[in-house]
Structure 1
Amino acid sequence: MEKSLQLVFKNAVGSTKIITISNPKENLTKAETDEAMQKIVAANVFSTLGGDLIQAVEARVVNRNVQVLA
């Protein structure tokens, strides 16, 4: 099973933007992800077609099960 962490942000024009991180550490807390997302917004290191990331919306862990058919 593949696991990823999705960090969801709003940009300057109100569009949703997602940063996906593969294989996040186990047992992440909301406090840890909130702090990291606020640091990303404050550092202003990402730019999108709709402008800078201005708001952290949510963090979510996604589990994906891939089965190759033979």
Structure 2
Amino acid sequence: MAQKLTMSFRNTAGKTVTMSLADPRPDITAADVTTVMDAIIAKNVFSSSGGDLVVKERAVVIDTTENELYNAG
């Protein structure tokens, strides 16, 4: 099962901007993610077509399972 950490922010235009990171640490905590999200906003690490990221909205770890239905290889 694969996992990804998805972090959502609001930009200056009021739109939601989401970024995902594959394979987060298994022991990651809400405090870890909040600290990183605060740093992304404070240091203006990323921007979007709607402007700078200004507010944290949400962070989740998503588990995915792959069920292969066909493989030509």
**Bin of the TM-score, shorter chain as denominator length:** over 0.9
> Unmatched 5+ residue regions in structure 1?
none
Map Cα deviations across residues 12-62 of structure 1 (whole Å, 9 max, x no partner). Answer: 111111110000001211111101100000010211110000011121000
**Percent of matched pairs sharing the same residue:** 33
Secondary structure of residue in 2 paired with 1:41: helix
Aligned residues: 70
| RMSD of Structure 2 on Structure 1 (CA) | 0.9
Secondary structure of residue in 2 paired with 1:38: helix
- Structure exhibiting the larger radius of gyration computed from Cα positions: 2
> Unmatched 5+ residue regions in structure 2?
none
Which runs of structure 2 are paired with 1:6-45 in the superposition (5 Å)?
6-45=6-45
Q: Normalized against structure 1, the TM-score is what?
A: 0.93
Q: Normalized against structure 2, the TM-score is what?
A: 0.90
